[in-house]
Each structure stands twice: as C-alpha cells, then as structure tokens.
Amino acid sequence: MSQLSPDAMRKAMSKLAEVVDARNILIGASEDREIPGPAGGIPLRIYTPATTVAGTLPALIYFHGGTGVFCSIETHDGLCRILANESGCRVISVGYRLAPEHKFPAAIDDAYAATEWIFGHREGLGIDPERVAVGGDSAGATLAAVVCQQAKERAGPDIALQVLLCPVTDLALNSLSRRAFAKGYFFEMAIFDWALGHYLSAVADISDPRLSPLRAIDLRDLPPTHIHTAEFDPFRDDGKAYADALERAHVPVTLTCHQGLIHHFYCMAGAIPYARVAVRGIGNSVKAALSCAPGALKTAKLR
C-alpha cells in the first residue's frame, strides 16, 4: 500500500470500506450540508439516531481517520451510524481538506472552524451546547485532541468530552508497539512514513503540538477523555502515553485497550464481529458520559 499514489490509496480504501464497513444500519435521518471554512466549503454529514426524544440531543463532532491523506465521510459512514444509534447523539461527521493537495495545517484549520460553526449554530442543529463531544479515529483522533487543546487556549467552544480511537499523539514516539507491530498487522509503519511525506511540508516541525498533541506544554483543564486502543496496533502506546499524560494533568480519563483487534477495527464492523461489539460499547460509553447533568459534566472537567 505504501507504494500507491494518494489517489490510488483513496480508491483502495473506498473499496475496502465497501467490503468491511458496517452496512444497512438504519438511523433516524442523515443530512449532508456544506458550511463555510477558512478556504472554502467544509462538507458535513449529520446523523440522527433511530430512537430520539423530544428536544435537543447531545452531539458528537467526528473527524475520520486516514493519515490526513485518504478516507472520507463515506468510508466512515457505517461507523458513524452505529455511534449515533448507540450514543443517542447527533453525530456530525466533518470532511476536512486532505493532503497532499492541502498540507498541514489545513486539516486542523478546517476541524477547528467546523467545531466553532457547529457550536454557533447549535439551535438550528437541535443540539445541547453543554453536551457536545469531539472525537475521531487515528489521524482524526489527533485532530480531535488538537481541537480540544485549541479550544482551551482560545477560550473557544466548551467541549464536554473527547473520544479518541487509536490516536496518534506523537509523530516521533519510539514505542514498543510501533516496533512490535510495524509490519503485518494491516496498518504498517511504512504507510505512516508514506503519509507523513504527503501531509507535511519541508518546514513542518513534528514537535508542534498541532501534529503531536502529547507534546503540548499544559494539558490541564482539557475535557474528560475516553481513549480506545487496539492490542495489535502500532499506535497502541500513543494512546496509553496520552492517557498517562492527561492523568498527570488531573484530567478525568478512561483508557480501553480492545484485545485481539487492529488499527482501523472501528471501520471493520461489517467483517469482524467483535469490532461491532467494540464500536457499540464505545457509543454506549459516550451516551453514559453525556447523560450526566450539565453541572456534573462541568464538575468532572474541573477535577
């Protein structure tokens, strides 16, 4: 895979999604929109769960993975449908700009702009502004972590929860899991190196917290965090390292390592039975966290 062009990789991942993503997941509704972004329109897909109650709903703003080079709203459609039903949230999937056409920090700029827009239009979207989570997988989880850091730094949106699936938290982390699972476990480190060559410009600094959120100077006062890793994922230790750092900063954090699974398992719920079980569990944990009274959520963030 690391020998493919970006366009060929995108087509390959779309083909893969047709085979392994969860299919025919019935939800209440889905709606495609385009919102203004820093360099043009940003596509959104809004998923309403099958079972809804009157009034506003909690929300999960979701950033798909794909190393910042491939994948899309479409490749993560089944995942977002399951998350909507299990979490009871309106899941809002964000289609940010991809490299190499749009190198770092374009994706981050889009992700933060989309988060601000969603908070600013909460009434029209039917979401509770005090129960909005931000999440993502892989590179999308990195975006989610950075959005939460920037929201704190800029006194921006008051995010209630961050949900990080197999996050990449330090581009230069020399970890046991990266060495042990570098080859032969679906996502290989050769693909990671390939992606960095497309995503980063020559002047990019991998110690920049927007690329490596683990390197942020101050992690205090970030939202309560759910981190999910996979046993056979090169980036398993990235998630553990970020969980440990958040814990040291007194941020409430839950770390779950899904045994027997690989990177990208969350988009393989149509082919791996336990992956579907895991994704449903992730959705239920979001539901439980956001079902707290707003005051309890704020108390958790201050612990």
pLDDT at 3: 86
For residue 55, the model assigns a pLDDT of 77
228 is catalytic: no
Element (H, E) at 137: strand 127-137
For the cut 50, the answer to whether the pLDDT of residue 300 exceeds it is yes
Contact status, residue 211 vs residue 99, Cβ threshold 8 Å? no
pLDDT digits (tens, 9 = 90+) for 157-199: 999 999 999 999 999 999 999 999 999 999 999 999 999 999 9
- The pair phi, psi for residue 43, each rounded to 5°, is -75, 145
Bond prior to 209 in cis (omega within 30° of 0): no
Return the biggest CA–CA distance within the chain. 51
Q: Write down the catalytic residue from 72, 87, 93, 138.
A: 138
Contact 165, 282 (CB under 8 A): yes
User: pLDDT tens digits for 255-266?
Assistant: 999 999 999 999
Is residue 53 very low, low, confident or very high in pLDDT (cuts 50, 70, 90)? low
User: Taking 50 as the threshold, does the pLDDT of residue 303 lie above it?
Assistant: no
Under the banding of pLDDT at 50, 70 and 90, the label for residue 284 is very high
User: Is residue 295 pLDDT above 70, yes or no?
Assistant: no
| Percentage of the chain exceeding pLDDT 90 | 93
Q: How much of the chain, in percent, has pLDDT values that exceed 70? A: 96
Those residues whose C-beta lies under 8 Å from the C-beta of residue 111, and which sit 6 or more positions away, are 63, 94, 96, 143, 144, 146, 147
In whole angstroms, how large is the CA radius of gyration of the chain? 18
What global pTM score does this model have? 0.95
Give the C-alpha separation, 281 to 73, whole Å. Answer: 21
Q: 122: how many CB neighbours lie within 10 A of its CB? A: 16
How confident is the model over 188-215, as a mean pLDDT? 96
Active site residue 102: no
- Please provide residue 73's backbone torsions phi and psi, each rounded to the nearest 5 degrees: -55, -40
Q: Which residue has the tokens 């079902």?
A: 291
3-state DSSP assignment of residue 279: helix
User: Which pLDDT score, from 0 to 100, does residue 297 have?
Assistant: 56
pLDDT in tens, 63-122: 999 999 999 999 999 999 999 999 999 999 999 999 999 999 999 999 999 999 999 999
**Which helix or strand (DSSP H or E) is residue 201 part of?**
none
Check residue 1 and give its pLDDT.
Answer: 76
* Residues 159 and 128 sit within 8 Å (Cβ to Cβ): no
| Rounded to 5°, angle at Cα 11 from 257 and 202 | 75
Q: Is the pLDDT of residue 268 over 90?
A: yes
DSSP letter at 195 equals: H
Torsion of Cα atoms, 144 then 149 then 153 then 157, to 10°:
40
215-231 mean pLDDT: 98
**Burial per residue of 39-59, b for 16 or more beta-carbon CB atoms within 10 angstroms, e otherwise:** eeebbbbbbbbeeeeeebbbb
Catalytic residue among 110, 170, 233, 237: 233
Collect all residues with Cβ–Cβ distance below 8 Å to 136 and sequence separation of at least 6.
62, 63, 64, 65, 142, 143, 144, 163, 164, 165, 167
Domains, the chain, with CATH or none: 6-302 (3.40.50.1820)
pLDDT for residue 302 is more than 50: no
- Which pLDDT score is estimated for 296? 54
Mean pLDDT of the chain: 95
Give the pLDDT confidence of 10-48 residue by residue, as tens digits: 999 999 999 999 999 999 999 999 999 999 999 999 999
| Catalytic residue status for 87 | no
